[in-house]
């Protein structure tokens, strides 16, 4: 069940103790730290990251405690909620499913400058960036990212672990499947259905439905294999 969530704050009397899963300071984690600095009643108390060189270090005076899978129950009990600060859709979804089964709670983080309709429904663990717009009757599923200045128009349905990149825009009644990525500055016209694990390239204009597991470069679709990110890397090597 999706919940209506407008800030990551759920306590009026004390600071919410938040743990971030993913500690890449020059990536999505850095964006999350910056946004959370605007909330006086949220305290980031720990990072969790599987990178061996980060364990035992501090980032912005916040300790990196190693992989979340290795965290003891005592450590987890001292953290109120978690947020997965990882840009990779597949990794974010897998972590969310696994850790939800273990009883962890996840915060949705929304930048104060984002414009969110009162009728929008936003799932757990999502991120809504600065100047983003989420219009009326939109549903956004768990652990999805609506990045800086992205526009999600009315009556959209955004799946789980989707990433809408900066300045991308979806028109009315668009449906986007789980694990899909819509690149920076891309546009999607009304009533389009995009399947699961679709990659829409930066600046693409989508004027027709897109089948699952497809890359969209401009108006041309190209199927990918098992991992859209690996496919991109392989193309860049050629």
Residues 143, 102, 58, 37: what is their CA dihedral angle, to the nearest 10 degrees? 40
Ordered DSSP codes for 68-125: GGG--HHHHHT-SEEEE----HHHHHHHHHHHHHTT--B--EE-TT-EE-TT-EE-TT
In this structure, what token pair is assigned to residue 198? Answer: 């679709």
Does the annotation mark 154 as catalytic? yes
**CA neighbor of 164 nearest in space, from 140, 179, 181, 178:** 181
Q: Which of 28, 83, 111, 154 is catalytic?
A: 154
Cα–Cα distance between 178 and 90 in angstroms, integer?
Answer: 9
Active site residues per annotation: 154
């Amino acid at each position: 069940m999706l919940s209506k969530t407008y800030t990551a704050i759920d306590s009026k009397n004390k600071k919410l103790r938040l743990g971030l899963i993913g500690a890449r300071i020059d990536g999505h984690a850095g964006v999350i730290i910056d946004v959370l600095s605007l909330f006086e009643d949220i305290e980031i108390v720990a990072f969790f990251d599987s990178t061996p060189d980060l364990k035992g270090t501090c980032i912005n005076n916040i300790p990196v405690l190693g992989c979340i899978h290795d965290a003891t129950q005592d450590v987890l009990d001292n953290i109120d909620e978690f947020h997965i600060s990882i840009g990779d859709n597949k990794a974010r979804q897998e972590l969310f499913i696994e850790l939800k089964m273990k009883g962890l709670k996840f915060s949705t983080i929304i930048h104060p400058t984002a414009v969110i309709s009162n009728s929008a429904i936003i799932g757990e663990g999502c991120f809504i960036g600065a100047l983003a717009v989420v219009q009326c009757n939109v549903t956004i599923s768990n652990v999805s990212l609506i990045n800086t200045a992205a526009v999600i128009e009315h009556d959209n349905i955004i799946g789980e672990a989707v990433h809408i990149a900066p300045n991308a825009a979806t028109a009315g009644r668009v449906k986007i499947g789980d694990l899909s990525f819509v690149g920076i500055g891309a546009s999607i016209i009304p009533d389009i259905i995009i399947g699961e694990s679709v990659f829409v390239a930066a600046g693409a204009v989508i004027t027709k439905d897109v089948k699952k597991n497809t890359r969209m470069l401009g108006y041309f679709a190209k199927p990918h294999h098992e991992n859209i990110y690996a496919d991109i890397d392989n193309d860049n090597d050629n």
